[in-house]
Chains A and B, each alone.
Chain A
Amino acid sequence: MSKPEFNSTRPGFMPPFILERIASSRSDMQLQSRAQRTLEVDRYFRAQRTPDVASAMAMPQGSPHPGQVARYIYSANYQEVLPGTLVREEGQDETGDPAVDEAYRWLGVTYRFFWEAFERNSIDNQGMPLLGTVHYGRDYENAFWNGAQMVFGDGDGEFFNRFTQALDVVGHELAHGVIEREAGLVYTYQSGALNESLADVFGSLTEQYHLGQTAAEADWLIGAELLTERVQGRALRSMAAPGTAYDDPVLGKDPQPAHMDAFVETEADNGGVHINSGIPNHAFYLAAMALGGYAWETCGLVWYDTLLDSRLMPESDFATFATLIVENAERRFGSASRESIAIREAWQAVGVIA
């Protein structure tokens, strides 16, 4: 494939988010019609139903026994290739490469959390091997789940640190695999925001479990380790106070709402999946704080029950999800239990149910 010659030869370019201060994306977005939006959801739904990445790739050996993790860490060697070169597999010694060893360690911690808290044996509950690729791309400031494995960039060093540094972000990416297998929540609009919120909930719980923290002791931040010193902010997101994680001249201001009154209607970010997730995130936080103790023993169980509930559909919205959560709380703890009451009140407090 021939590449038209547009590569800038000017050294030391500045990314557009620094140079371009004109917030003009709004007019583009408004052009998208409702019909187009429906079509997009439809296409996404069809694409999601066939996770062909997993089947196209030869998977290494999974967990030999339930409760035993099978990890495979690859290096992309600063290119954008997957899975890359295998650099550490289950049982092998530390490599001395922090990204490799962090990915290995945090994937193990996340596996153990799902196993010990929910008796879940890996992403598919059948011992699926955990594949993580590090050193993906150059200055790559992102982490993602690609339908078959987790991928971590090294960050640019200027605004973002290595993405393997944050246990809750590693847990977040692994949780996306679990959510995809169990509920297939379509990654747009409210169902997408629920997908994102569940990934934050289980990512945060993984960290709380690892640190032995009660709800009151937890920081309820996502990715607190990722932002460098020069960023005016604490984390990617705050479940305790959505919208307050950062306010920075370059990154902008945390756009997350904490209540339905401030729900953001947007076409950006797949319809605000990382934005409106602040609302269900905050509901989880409120319920966990009201109940006290270890959140994975209270709300965590109910949220996990709901993720497995066959009534949770790929396009479920916040209200449907909240109703199912309350029903699962009642089923597990009793309808007059303090757990059921606190959880119902939390969803009322964020304006999702009356």
Chain B
Amino acid sequence: MNDKSPDELKKAQLQAKSVVAIRREGGVAAFPGLMKPRRIHCAEYTDEQRRELEGVLNLAARTCSATPAPGADRRVFHVHVEEPQHPDAAESDFCVWSLSLNEEETPEALIALWKSGMPGNSDQ
């Protein structure tokens, strides 16, 4: 599922301009409404919170396997860290880090982020 190359060892580093998008896909049917990503805008959080978030992403990267789970109708979590190409660019965010995780090996902390966003964040 993820390359075990030097790239894989690249750690997620979040800046204030980073956006973390977490999406769950797959399952026995492809409901477009259920595949929409949770987007976490790092600018809304403190440095300490961003380090914690980095910790979750890097934990996931360390524990995930390199291949998709066998079988069919399995669910997968996709994580992307996006950064705007120019400070004032309104669109065309650039993906600087990504990870795909089989559902059963996705850390609970990451699933919690997908469900509810950052703690203390009043509903987006």
Contact = CB atoms under 8 A, between A and B. Distances in A.
Nearest to B63: A1
Interface size class of B (residues with CB under 8 A): 35 or more
Interface string B65-108: 01111111111001010100000000111110010000010011
Contacts of B27: 141-142, 144
B52 A6 contact: yes
A158 B14 CA distance: 36
Interface string B29-43: 111111111110000
Contacts of A223: 28-29
B109 interface: yes
Contacts of A17: 33-36
A144 B71 contact: yes
Q: Is the interface of B mostly helix, strand, loop or mixed?
A: mixed
B28 A236 contact: yes
A337 B53 CA distance: 64
Q: How large is the interface on A (under 10, 10 to 19, 20 to 34, 35 or more residues)?
A: 35 or more
A265 interface: no
B112 A146 contact: no
A23 B1 CA distance: 24
B12 interface: no
A199 B72 contact: yes
A148 B92 CA distance: 42
A252 B31 contact: yes
A211 interface: no
B71 A53 contact: yes
A217 B77 CA distance: 40
Interface in A269-298: 269-270, 272-275
Nearest to A163: B28
A253 interface: yes
Contacts of B28: 142-144, 163, 169, 172-173, 223, 236, 274
A290 B32 CA distance: 32
6 nearest interchain CB pairs? A252-B32, A252-B33, A147-B70, A16-B38, A8-B116, A13-B116
Interface of A: 1, 3-10, 13-17, 19-25, 27-28, 31, 39, 43-44, 46-48, 51-53, 80, 141-148, 163, 169, 172-173, 176, 179-180, 187, 195-196, 199, 223, 236-237, 246, 248-253, 255, 268-270, 272-275
14 contacts: A5-B52, A6-B112, A8-B115, A8-B117, A17-B36, A52-B70, A142-B75, A146-B74, A147-B71, A187-B72, A199-B72, A251-B32, A255-B32, A274-B30
